[in-house]
Amino acid sequence: MSTTFPTFDFSDYRVVIAGGSKGIGRAMALAFAQAGAAVSICARGTEALEATGKELAETGAKVHVARCDLANADSVARYIEHAADALGGIDVLVNNGSGFGFSDDEDSWQRGLSVDVLAPVRASRHALPWLKASAHASILNIVSIAALRPRGGGAPYAAVKAAMTSYTSSQALALASDGIRVNAIAPGSIKFPGGLWEEREQNAPEVHDRTLANIPFGRFGEPEEIAGPALFLASPLAGWITGHTLVVDGGQMLNG
């Protein structure tokens, strides 16, 4: 017996993506918009933010775009409030920002804790009144496979992503009584123009090539390959899934 599943329809959803101007964030924003959602994105850099805002507007979706420093508590609070006002509420909150703290120094740890951990905590807290009023509320935290295994380098990045993986399950338990699902996606190595792996291909080719050789499919992932799982986890098809971290890595972790 064959089963036919509907395509994603987010036409009555309001989706807020904290960190949505480039890479995975941009791909998720466009995917939600193309599926009919009203979408708000924020980022710190103006150029990429405005460019992605124009792409989103071309889909015909209702769009809100704002600058936000995710490391700053007041900036996060203002962004969530303005996004909710612009969209008329919040149904899905996607926490996608990262400070990319790879060096074992004070600055990397501070950026990681501020952007990768405290920004999602703050955004979730401020979005809660609107999420509680939603009939299909969910939170999606973008973490990393770095959270799931020890690393010889980049300990701050791995540690803060591990913290968010733990927080996702605790958050899911705490918010279940409000009907709010909370999940995470742990991407593997994703390559896109202007991103980390393009930079490493140019400046640290040995790291780039070693990582590529460790991926069973023989290629880096693409941002759109994270956007699809994001739509699934935010949709009614995942209505009985909460507290889960979904690894999307092309089998990268299978090689250790």
pLDDT at 7: 81
Query: 39: Cβ–Cβ under 8 A, 6 or more apart, which residues?
Result: 15, 16, 17, 20, 29, 32, 33, 56, 61, 62, 63, 64, 87
In the residue annotation, 157 being an active-site residue is answered as yes
Catalytic residue among 13, 79, 157, 167: 157
Phi, psi for residue 56 in degrees, rounded to 5: -65, -40
Fold of 14-191+222-250: Rossmann fold (3.40.50)
Closest to 94 in 3D by CA, of 74, 117, 71, 120: 120
Amino acid 6: pLDDT: 57
Residues of the chain with pLDDT below 70 are 1-6
Domain assignments of the chain as residue spans, ordered by start:
14-191+222-250
How high is the pLDDT of residue 153? 81
pLDDT of 185 reads 98
Residue-level pLDDT at 1: 37
Write the pLDDT tens digit of every residue in 156-201: 999 999 999 999 999 999 999 999 999 999 999 999 998 888 989 9
